[in-house]
Amino acid sequence: MKTIENPNKDTWSDILKRPTQTIGDIEATVNQIFNEVRQEGDKAIKDYTLRFDGVSLKSNVVTPEEIQQAIQNVPEKLQNAIKKAKKNIEVFHTAQKTSKIDVETTNGVQCWQEKRPIEKVGLYIPGGTAPLFSTVLMLAVPAQIAGCKEIVLCSPPNKEGQLASEILFAAQLCGVTKIIKVGGIQAVAGLTFGTDTIPQVYKIFGPGNQYVTVAKQLATKFGVAIDMPAGPSELLVVADEEAKASYIASDLLSQAEHGADSQVILVSTSKELISSVSEEVEKQIKELPRQDIAEKAIANSKLIYIENNELALELINQYGPEHFIICTKNEDFYVNGIANAGSVFIGNYTPESAGDYASGTNHTLPTNGFSKAYSGVNLDSFLKSMTFQKISKEGLLNIGETIELMAEAEGLQAHKNAVSIRLKDLI
């Protein structure tokens, strides 16, 4: 990891750059696959599954028999762990339900707001180097709580044409209605346009690599909503002399092992801690099964010394991390001051991996600085707010003239007439 001391503000943008390709580098590939899936449907899906995943499937739809076999394959201890995590996620997301808002804005004018589920949602579950069955919980649990009618899950198959048993177990546990063995750009395209085997959905959820992220953004051009642009994982830790170096190093490596394009950053007011963390990273990384991946991510990562908390907080808010860990004596300063972060983890005993799996918060979060404007996935992500109004005769008499005057001033005579014709019958 590169160590940087007291960087000038003019250099912050360069220092904080993510190790990602620009959209222009991969947009042509995404457009090509979208066009082929739109025109050829399942044939294009099958061709790209063979090309990218190395397997030719007779059918890309998971059968009930495959699900039952998967359940038997998952050890009982892991099943219980998944169920416990699911319960915590349910508790946290169920608490996010809000009641109907009903007000009378003027005598006789009743307005209310209710939330209704998005009927058809698509969940993208990364497979690749690590099948993320935890993401099934993070997406399917709130979708089920919201009441979504169709919950379609897509995930890339392995070389044997199968999905991880843990993914299938979690999917059936959380009420997923259809499971498709397809990944990458072609999965997002299939959910966008629909094919003979893949239902078209109204909104697509889930993290993925840079290609999946661009594919999701392209889906919006065809009228399909997305949760957020969520690409390679990232973590920023702020720590001082109160922090334990071994803990910080383990947190940095927990994100670095996600992928070679992940990024982790330590910001600290202690040069001694930075030195200790650097040593711990070198020590711990050698013990990781995914050492090669972690080393590539660490090469893109940084240890930044900042002389005071105020400057450190300013730099962190400019970065807008996906995950933000606070391990400082004055943690309230950062808790109260952070404006841009996907999810915040506070104290020496709150590892980021708790949020990834079982504490209850959602781990599908905005990356690449999008936390400045986007929220992470939550219950509302699967709901739409609909407004209603009912106006009585008295109500129309109370606001009718207001509407007439405003409509006339905007030059919209038919708008005015829609009120005037009714007022004539009431006066």
- Give the CATH number, domain containing residue 149: 3.40.50.1980
- Are residues 73 and 47 part of one domain? yes
Q: Which of 339, 360, 381 is the last residue of a domain?
A: 360
Q: Cβ(155)–Cβ(169) under 8 Å?
A: no
Predicted TM-score (pTM) of the model is 0.94
Which pLDDT score, from 0 to 100, does residue 129 have? 67
Which pLDDT score, from 0 to 100, does residue 189 have? 98
In a domain, 383, yes or no: no
Which pLDDT score, from 0 to 100, does residue 130 have? 73
322 is known as an active-site residue: yes
In a domain, 153, yes or no: yes
Q: Which of 230, 257, 288 is the last residue of a domain?
A: 230
**Residue-wise pLDDT tens digits, 31-64:** 999 999 999 999 999 999 999 999 999 999 999 9
Residue segments in the chain with a per-residue pLDDT below the cut of 70: 20-23, 128-129
In a domain, 225, yes or no: yes
Which pLDDT score, from 0 to 100, does residue 21 have? 58
Domain containing residue 405: 392-426
Which pLDDT score, from 0 to 100, does residue 127 have? 84
Look at the chain and report how many structural domains it folds into: 3
- Are residues 218 and 279 part of one domain? no
- Are residues 322 and 202 part of one domain? no
- Are residues 145 and 67 part of one domain? yes
- Are residues 33 and 133 part of one domain? yes
- Are residues 216 and 242 part of one domain? no
What distances in angstroms separate CA 156 from CA 118, 161, 167, 211, 392, one per listed residue? 25, 9, 11, 14, 55
Domain of residue 410, CATH code: 1.20.5.1300
Which pLDDT score, from 0 to 100, does residue 22 have? 61
In single-letter form, the type of residue at position 334 comes to Y
In a domain, 379, yes or no: no
In single-letter form, the type of residue at position 68 comes to Q
How many Å apart are CA 139 and CA 206, to the nearest integer? 7
In a domain, 337, yes or no: yes
In a domain, 399, yes or no: yes
Q: Which of 204, 230, 256 is the last residue of a domain?
A: 230
Per DSSP, 222 falls in state G
Sequence-separated (6 or more) residues with CB below 8 Å from residue 415: 403, 407
In a domain, 124, yes or no: yes
The pair of three-digit structure tokens given for residue 365, joined into one six-digit string: 């979060």
* Phi, psi of 31, deg, nearest 5: -60, -40
363 is known as an active-site residue: no
- Are residues 412 and 263 part of one domain? no
- Are residues 164 and 219 part of one domain? yes
- Are residues 156 and 40 part of one domain? yes
- Are residues 236 and 226 part of one domain? no
In a domain, 245, yes or no: yes
Pick the catalytic residue: 166, 234, 322, 352?
322
Pick the catalytic residue: 323, 331, 401, 404?
323
- Are residues 72 and 10 part of one domain? no
Q: Which helix (H) or strand (E) holds 13?
A: helix 12-15
Can you say whether the dihedral through the CA atoms of 366, 201, 26, 186 is positive or negative?
positive
Binding-site residues for Zn(2+), in ranges, read 255, 258, 356, 415
Which pLDDT score, from 0 to 100, does residue 23 have? 66
- Are residues 346 and 197 part of one domain? no
Please count the CA atoms within 13 angstroms of the CA of 399 that sit on its side-chain side: 16
Which pLDDT score, from 0 to 100, does residue 257 have? 94
User: 31: phi > 0 → left, psi -120 to 50 → alpha, else beta; which?
Assistant: alpha
